[in-house]
A = this chain, B = another copy of it.
Amino acid sequence: MFEMFAVEVRDHVMIAHSFKGDLFGPAQALHGATFVIDAAFMSEKLDENGVVIDIGRAHEALKEVLEPLNYKNLDDLPEFEGINTTTEFLTKYVHDHLARAARENRLGRPGPELDAIRVTISESHVARAWYEARIA
């Protein structure tokens, strides 16, 4: 029987970037965004404390992933060279870092007890993107 718990926490970054490709129209120019990021950690079972993971730890884990991006021009970061740092791309970027933290047991709960992570990034009051995938 399908059942799933989730805990989701919110943080944000303020970044500059530009896109390559006619598709992007005016967004090919250097511009920026406030990305409000929700990270949801999912598990089929609560631990002995009655939580998916500790909400405080979830906030810290998300902040650690975001810190290298905050107040940056993403075009200048070597790891993003040649990449369009679209909202969609960044949802997977945050997901992958959080999933690694889970697998390395850095979220305060054994990684195998967590099932999936979904990262949602709101770029304005009218547009957002998300990425969800299993951790293992």
Interface residues of A in 109-136 (CB under 8 A from B): 116, 123-134
Q: What is the 8 Å Cβ interface bit string for chain A, positions 13-55, against chain B (1 contact, 0 not)?
A: 0111101010111110111111110000000001001111011
Contact B129 A73 (CB under 8 A): no
Contact A5 B92 (CB under 8 A): yes
Contact B73 A30 (CB under 8 A): yes
Return A111 CB to nearest CB of chain B, in Å.
15
- Indicate if A97 sits at the interface (CB-CB under 8 A): no
How many copies of the polypeptide does the oligomer hold?
Answer: 6
Residues of A at the B interface (CB closer than 8 Å) are 1-12, 14-17, 19, 21, 23-27, 29-36, 46, 49-52, 54-56, 58-59, 70-73, 76, 83-89, 91-92, 108, 116, 123-134
Contact A3 B33 (CB under 8 A): no
How far is B122's CA from A124's CA once the two chains are assembled, in angstroms?
A: 10
Contact B50 A6 (CB under 8 A): no
* 14 extra interface residue pairs, beta carbon distance < 8 Å, beyond A19-B49, A50-B86: A2-B134, A7-B87, A8-B130, A11-B126, A12-B124, A12-B126, A16-B73, A31-B70, A31-B72, A32-B32, A50-B84, A55-B127, A58-B127, A59-B126
How far is B127's CA from A89's CA once the two chains are assembled, in angstroms?
A: 23
How far is B118's CA from A128's CA once the two chains are assembled, in angstroms?
A: 13
Contact B125 A10 (CB under 8 A): yes
